[in-house]
A and B are shown apart, each in its own frame.
Chain A
Amino acid sequence: MLNRQGRPTQGTVSAHEPHATFTGNRALQQIEPLIFEIGHTETTGVDIDPPAPFKSRLGAHARKGEIGLPGLSEPEAMRHYVRLSQKNYGIDTGLFPLGSCTMKHNARLNEKTARMPGFSDVHPLQPVSTVPGALEVMLELSRYLMTLTGMPAVALSPKAGAHGEACGMMAIKAAIAAKGEGATRNVVLVPESAHGTNPATAALIGFSVRSVPARPDGTVAVEDVKALLGPDIAAIMLTNPNTCGIFEPQIVEIAAAMHEAGAYFYCDGANFNAIVGKAKPGDLGVDAMHINLHKTFSTPHGGGGPGAGPVVLSERLAPFAPVPFIHLEGGTPRLVETEADAPEGTAPFGRMTAFHGQMGMYVRALTYMLSHGADGMKQASEDAVLNANYIRAGLSDLMSLPFPDHPSMHEALFDDEWLKGTGVTTLDFAKAMIDEGYHPMTVYFPLVVHGAMLIEPTESESKASLDLFIATLRDLAMAAKGNDKERFTGAPHHAPLRRLDETRAARQPVLKWMPPAPLAEAAE
């Protein structure tokens, strides 16, 4: 097939593939060219009349020349994006056990409420008097988050988990500076098992990072933390439940040790979904914790965003929360948007983002919380933990568990010890799962485990779904151990594409479509 520029839009169909089609299409799976290969700069799918002649006020700044953007008519655009969607795997497609990412069901009621005109069609800077309902959503979400975490304050505006981490660590830095210790307390402790965002965040805002070793059982020991404490330590960034899927048994002691040393406890709340309604971070001694609304409270992941990362804060960090925030004055909410306008007793450290944060995500998360209620959220945590342990129980005789001494929380972690000698890697195993109709688990994370496979089923899976998943993984595990190597190393065989060459992409980066060279030139 050639496009309008005469460039082939697909690779040649492999001749030895049985029943190869002429088009390269495979029934519902259609080869879809890029918009630059099917669109045209004169085509448009939006009817707009040009304005009546008028005197331009662009001055010398009018754009000259082609922009080079192809357009598609509405039916062409619809088909293009529908075909692209059919090359994607989503939660609605099947089990999506991506550990640490919490791929739970996305209720469509949340999408419906987020699109209500009073939420989606209001401007962040229209008069505050015209948006009391928006402030009500923010206050109500804050109340739910504070109640669930047992924390006295929350900064809503961070745009995603990593942005929330930055916000929490900035509050800690501001609090340290307020005590006159800014010059000396500049080291942050980060366990080896932490998400990469933790050390990256600490470095981003001028802290240096010191690593805390992981114990052989996958947890952090209070003695190891204490050994590192000193007047230079600002904080620890600890994920709980941790990235190995284990609740840190000494978390209360670690928090106390940090506080005793004049330092702070930042908790990475990426895995809060395991303990919602079961334990309150405020009771554990946490000073700051971000909450990924797109994980725990099911605002959709949308192919990689948008997220939202509100941060709950302890009493001693609350005064440093960034603008904007809502201040209650005699029960009346007041939106504080500038540092100059900050009420007495507060010292905002600055601003994380333009406007007021991810309102569209606040609405979805609040809708989720209202739907579940206190009882439903507790049940969801219990079911998530139950499902993970059920998978673990169903696989642990075939696959190796690096940390068998602790129960799993919401995710079960395996390593690749059991694959030794088979010639099959963790990656191969993951790609074979694709052929069986599953999204792979998280692989090679956390880094403290060799060939890690981190399985998080979430509470959204039925027992029947889990039984089928366990049976499938058992079949695959037996095949891996039974010399059926090609099933794995060549996988996926049945996905829209075969395994992609990521090395080539990085060595010779092609980051945008380029018009093909004229045919004559290309032939030289």
Chain B
Amino acid sequence: MRYLPLSDTDRQDMLARIGVADVDALFSDVPADKLLKAPVDLPRAKGELEVERIMAKMSARNVSASAVPFFVGAGAYKHHVPATVDHLIQRSEFLTSYTPYQPEIAQGTLQYLFEFQTQVSALTGMEVANASMYDGSTGTGEAVLMAHRVTKRRKAVLSGGLHPHYAGVVRTLSEMANDEVVTLAPDVAATEDILAQIDDETSCVVVQSPDFFGNLRDLKPIAAKAHAHGALLIAVFTEVVSLGAVTPPGEQDADIVVGEGQSIGNALNFGGPYVGLFAAKSKYIRQMPGRLCGETVDASGQRGFVLTLSTREQHIRRDKATSNICTNSGLCVLAFTIHMTLLGQAGLTRLAAVNHANAVALADALAGVKGVSVLNASFFNEFTVKLPKPAAEIVEALAAKGILAGVPVSRLLPGAGLDDLLLVASTEINTNEDRAAFVAALAEVL
């Protein structure tokens, strides 16, 4: 087996040195009747060529985003990632290293985490950011728990514009911990009265912008009302590129900001691995979940970086920890931070402008199709259209024509009476030809 260096001679020599007759003597604590005598019922080892063929065959059965006009979003977005990113994250020293527990030989990881935290602070307009969460949805769940710790209250109010999967993650965690959650009805046009839901029992209000339906929301009045009642505002985003164009939540007095960072540096990957971004006001750092990287000096006075404030964490605090998180999204963080460094403010601003321009062009074109209307007053690179037929049917019909048109709202919110709504996203990858093909095909299938 190509991955196993020991030869049978080695094994015999080593067993002799240990002083046992065979390897099963080392498994003597396993109850004898539970020790398997033969290999399990699975195929035998295969060479690289054969494995590659098997996997390629499965891969070929899927339609990849680059192969067709592609407008699918709803929390994961197709963007162009520079070739440099994938090259760098595959360097051995990044790919095959561990969580930087020994900082003297992990300064590469630690420095990019410190740079990442600074980038996320700047993007969100917040004072402090952590070294990442698994993804935006689990980060949102952790943000609610953090708000409960800060306020010593147990009730979260979720906007009807929050991504339904994110709301599902929060509800699941809260039900398990016997915490209260108020989820507002799906809010297609950003007209809900969330202020009316905030009272003196409220721990936090969770609001997404751009929201699930693409609308941009004014967070300031929500922050003001929340703060007047001693509650926190948790601002959520699923498209981080939007922060290159829209007012960041930090400038709207959000207390915790959490979002999905996949769009920068990371592939679609059928939903994972992704990278959760998590930022907060600095007065709350000791209640934050996840790893934090901090600056310090070494014994000779040189600047260096370490994981810090670990007294919040499970390996020290056990059942009193701020979170059970151990692993974060290291390599996805690296991809994010490299791509963001390549972009810089100048590149990010332009990338965001192109995304918005493409979405505006698409919205205008789709609005010209008979029976189709765009519902958003404002949006960044994604919006909701109302169709004269069930969106799920239309999406299937368009897929059959080689166009991946978007996400039917009913796929995430079945039974909500929203079957005629379609979420459509457009990024820098879309060309005029893509848009024209979409519009023509939609007119045909309607």
Interface string of A501-519 (1 = CB under 8 A from B): 1101110011111000000
Taking a contact as CB atoms under 8 Å apart, the answer to whether A84 and B107 are in contact is yes
Question: Which residues does chain B contribute within 8 Å of A392, judged by CB atoms?
Answer: 18
Taking a contact as CB atoms under 8 Å apart, the answer to whether A126 and B63 are in contact is yes
* The one of B65, B103, B245 that contacts A126, using a Cβ cutoff of 8 Å: B65
Question: Which residues does chain A contribute within 8 Å of B369, judged by CB atoms?
Answer: none
| Chain B residue nearest in CB terms to A339 | B168
* Complex-state Cα separation, A308 to B331, whole angstroms: 13
Q: From residue B250, how far is it (CB to closest CB) to chain A in Å? A: 11
Max chain B Cβ within 10 angstroms of own Cβ: one of A40, A48, A88: A88
Taking a contact as CB atoms under 8 Å apart, the answer to whether B23 and A125 are in contact is no
* The one of A50, A93, A162, A200 that contacts B92, using a Cβ cutoff of 8 Å: A93
* Complex-state Cα separation, A430 to B103, whole angstroms: 12
Taking a contact as CB atoms under 8 Å apart, the answer to whether B344 and A40 are in contact is yes
**Is the CB of A64 closer than 8 A to any CB of chain B?**
yes
The answer to whether A119 and B26 touch (CB under 8 A), given A89-B93, A363-B55, is no
Contact-residue size bin, chain B (C-beta under 8 Å from the other chain)? 35 or more
Taking a contact as CB atoms under 8 Å apart, the answer to whether A277 and B272 are in contact is no
Q: Which of B68-76, B194-202, B221-229 lies at the interface with chain A?
A: B68-76
Query: From residue 467 to 519 of chain A, which have CB atoms closer than 8 A to chain B?
Result: 490, 492, 495-502, 504-506, 509-513
Query: From residue 157 to 198 of chain A, which have CB atoms closer than 8 A to chain B?
Result: 159-163, 165-166, 170, 173, 195-197
* The one of B58, B166, B270, B297 that contacts A124, using a Cβ cutoff of 8 Å: B270
**Is the CB of A2 closer than 8 A to any CB of chain B?**
no
Q: Which of A222-230, A246-254, A259-267, A418-426 lies at the interface with chain B?
A: A246-254
| Chain B residue nearest in CB terms to A351 | B168
**Is the CB of B404 closer than 8 A to any CB of chain A?**
yes
* The one of A67, A356, A366, A367 that contacts B244, using a Cβ cutoff of 8 Å: A67
* Complex-state Cα separation, A111 to B331, whole angstroms: 13
Question: Which residues does chain B contribute within 8 Å of A337, judged by CB atoms?
Answer: 411-412
**Is the CB of A214 closer than 8 A to any CB of chain B?**
no
* The one of B82, B104, B330, B344 that contacts A43, using a Cβ cutoff of 8 Å: B344
* Complex-state Cα separation, A352 to B11, whole angstroms: 43
Taking a contact as CB atoms under 8 Å apart, the answer to whether B273 and A11 are in contact is no
Interface string of A202-220 (1 = CB under 8 A from B): 1111101100000000000
Taking a contact as CB atoms under 8 Å apart, the answer to whether A357 and B272 are in contact is yes
* Complex-state Cα separation, A113 to B59, whole angstroms: 9
Question: Which residues does chain A contribute within 8 Å of B95, judged by CB atoms?
Answer: 90, 92, 106, 111, 300, 302
Taking a contact as CB atoms under 8 Å apart, the answer to whether A361 and B272 are in contact is yes
| Chain B residue nearest in CB terms to A301 | B98
Question: Which residues does chain B contribute within 8 Å of A148, judged by CB atoms?
Answer: 40, 42
* The one of A196, A357, A459 that contacts B271, using a Cβ cutoff of 8 Å: A357
The answer to whether A123 and B78 touch (CB under 8 A), given A300-B331, A380-B3, A510-B295, is yes
The answer to whether A58 and B380 touch (CB under 8 A), given A121-B66, A127-B399, A460-B5, is yes
Question: Which residues does chain A contribute within 8 Å of B108, judged by CB atoms?
Answer: 84-88, 303
| Chain A residue nearest in CB terms to B31 | A252
| Chain A residue nearest in CB terms to B103 | A500
The answer to whether A509 and B308 touch (CB under 8 A), given A55-B360, A160-B134, A386-B15, is yes
Question: Which residues does chain A contribute within 8 Å of B89, judged by CB atoms?
Answer: 302
**Is the CB of A18 closer than 8 A to any CB of chain B?**
no
The answer to whether A373 and B97 touch (CB under 8 A), given A59-B377, A247-B27, is no
Taking a contact as CB atoms under 8 Å apart, the answer to whether A48 and B347 are in contact is yes
* Complex-state Cα separation, A349 to B119, whole angstroms: 37
The answer to whether A130 and B343 touch (CB under 8 A), given A439-B102, A497-B104, is no
The answer to whether A445 and B6 touch (CB under 8 A), given A57-B378, A386-B26, is no
The answer to whether A62 and B272 touch (CB under 8 A), given A48-B351, A88-B109, A123-B404, is no
**Is the CB of B135 closer than 8 A to any CB of chain A?**
yes
Taking a contact as CB atoms under 8 Å apart, the answer to whether B272 and A306 are in contact is yes
The answer to whether A500 and B14 touch (CB under 8 A), given A131-B63, A386-B6, is no
* Complex-state Cα separation, A314 to B47, whole angstroms: 33
Interface string of B125-140 (1 = CB under 8 A from A): 0001101101111100
Interface string of A341-365 (1 = CB under 8 A from B): 1000000011111111111110100
Interface string of B265-299 (1 = CB under 8 A from A): 00111111111000000100100000111111111
Taking a contact as CB atoms under 8 Å apart, the answer to whether A200 and B314 are in contact is yes
Taking a contact as CB atoms under 8 Å apart, the answer to whether B327 and A307 are in contact is yes
The answer to whether A67 and B123 touch (CB under 8 A), given A41-B345, A84-B107, is yes
**Is the CB of A68 closer than 8 A to any CB of chain B?**
yes
* Complex-state Cα separation, A512 to B106, whole angstroms: 18
* The one of A93, A105, A386 that contacts B23, using a Cβ cutoff of 8 Å: A386
Taking a contact as CB atoms under 8 Å apart, the answer to whether A462 and B5 are in contact is yes
The answer to whether A159 and B245 touch (CB under 8 A), given A34-B114, A196-B314, is no
Taking a contact as CB atoms under 8 Å apart, the answer to whether A390 and B41 are in contact is no
Question: Which residues does chain B contribute within 8 Å of A279, judged by CB atoms?
Answer: 27, 30, 34-36
**Is the CB of B156 closer than 8 A to any CB of chain A?**
no
* Complex-state Cα separation, A363 to B64, whole angstroms: 16
* Complex-state Cα separation, A294 to B346, whole angstroms: 37
Query: From residue 226 to 276 of chain A, which have CB atoms closer than 8 A to chain B?
Result: 246-249, 251-252, 275
Question: Which residues does chain A contribute within 8 Å of B40, judged by CB atoms?
Answer: 147-148, 277, 280, 374, 377-378
Question: Which residues does chain B contribute within 8 Å of A430, judged by CB atoms?
Answer: 102
Question: Which residues does chain A contribute within 8 Å of B247, judged by CB atoms?
Answer: 61-64
The answer to whether A205 and B60 touch (CB under 8 A), given A106-B95, A162-B327, A380-B4, is no
Taking a contact as CB atoms under 8 Å apart, the answer to whether A206 and B330 are in contact is no
Taking a contact as CB atoms under 8 Å apart, the answer to whether B28 and A407 are in contact is yes
Residue pairs across A and B with Cβ atoms less than 8 A apart, 17 shown, are A58-B356, A81-B88, A82-B91, A91-B97, A98-B98, A124-B268, A200-B314, A200-B323, A249-B29, A301-B96, A302-B331, A306-B272, A355-B272, A372-B1, A499-B299, A510-B295, A513-B118
Q: A61-B216, A119-B59 are in contact. List 19 more A-B contacts (CB 8 A).
A: A34-B118, A58-B246, A71-B341, A85-B91, A85-B94, A87-B93, A87-B106, A105-B3, A120-B267, A121-B267, A122-B62, A163-B138, A197-B314, A284-B34, A350-B172, A350-B175, A356-B270, A360-B270, A509-B292
The 9 closest A-B pairs by CB, nearest first: A71-B344, A355-B271, A350-B172, A118-B59, A302-B331, A133-B61, A124-B271, A306-B273, A51-B357
